[in-house]
Amino acid sequence: MGDSAIKYLILVLLLPIALFSQSNFDAFLTPSDTLNKPRRNLIIISEAAIGTVTLIGLNQLWYANYPQSNFHTIDDNNEWLQMDKMGHVFTSYQLGKHGAQLLNWSGVGKKDQLIYGATLGFTFLTTVEVLDGFSQEWGFSWGDILANASGTGLYVGQELLWEEQRIALKFSFHQTKYTKERPDKLGKDFLEQILKDYNGQTYWLSANMHSFLKNKNIPKWLNVAVGYGADGMLSGVEDIDNQLLTNYRRQRQFYLSLDVNLSSIETNSKLLRSIFDVFNMIKVPLPTLEFGKKGCVFHLLYY
């Protein structure tokens, strides 16, 4: 079969999908005005299935590699300059946000969205925390529970106060030199490093100026963001007896930057709007001021 014939065949096969995406995706993605039980049931079944599979996978692929113990708690609040706690806040906020939005899509009332949707992140992460409690390697951390509750509270509080998310919790990441020295702890490849290398993570509170000031001259997409990060960490806590781990100065870092609220970009496509809303969890790289032990440092583009 010639190249032109193959291209024609591919076009014929993809044409129905393209037509569906144009004509039906918007209708499918439009939130229901009243309770749509098939949608609601689909969400409940899907979330339950995904959550169960994820927890089973964690238990088999992660916790099974470490010895089990009786349930116990730990105090890890002084580790990683609290960057791990920021990760809990961020994850709880994002899972809660999308959990509530899914229920809104199915026509569930606002109260139930906040009770059963916005608490999705807190519920899931608390279950993981219980698994930690039975692992000898880790333990149940009340600090993590507080961080999970803070992320949920950030979403719910804004919905109750303003009925919108004027302040979004966002994330950015850049690779660092520290992973070469401790790849087992900070990640061997890029995906592992995103999760494990706290030196490269930054968490942002991104505030929408139009929502706060109600000024029509301010673009709806313009945000101002303040960020928190840390640097110089090769372990959870400083180990003064290990020369390798004390070669770097552990320090907190704070940031001030502009940002883009992708959810406010106007488009007639609900598919694009949904994609923008998902990617709105990522801070857009823009000029940034960094404040730390080095004083004030300007970055043309920081991510």
User: 125-171: per-residue pLDDT in tens?
Assistant: 999 999 999 999 899 999 999 999 999 999 999 999 999 999 999 99
User: Residue 6's pLDDT band (boundaries 50, 70, 90)?
Assistant: very low
- Compute the distance between CA of residue 44 and CA of residue 102 in angstroms, rounded to an integer: 10
Please tell me the predicted confidence (pLDDT) of residue 200.
97
Q: Is the pLDDT of residue 22 over 50?
A: yes
φ/ψ region of 141 (left if φ > 0, alpha if ψ in -120 to 50, else beta) reads beta
- Compute the distance between CA of residue 125 and CA of residue 55 in angstroms, rounded to an integer: 10
Return the percentage of the chain with pLDDT > 90, whole number: 76
- This prediction's pTM: 0.89
Contacts of 242 (CB under 8 A, 6+ apart): 235
> Helix 120-133 to helix 37-61 angle, to the nearest 10 degrees?
20
Type and span of the H or E element at 132: helix 120-133
Q: Is the pLDDT of residue 47 over 80?
A: yes
Contacts of 80 (CB under 8 A, 6+ apart): 198, 230, 233, 236
Average pLDDT over the chain reads 89
pLDDT tens across 81-96, in order? Answer: 999 999 999 999 999 9
Domain map of the chain by residue range? 33-164, 166-303
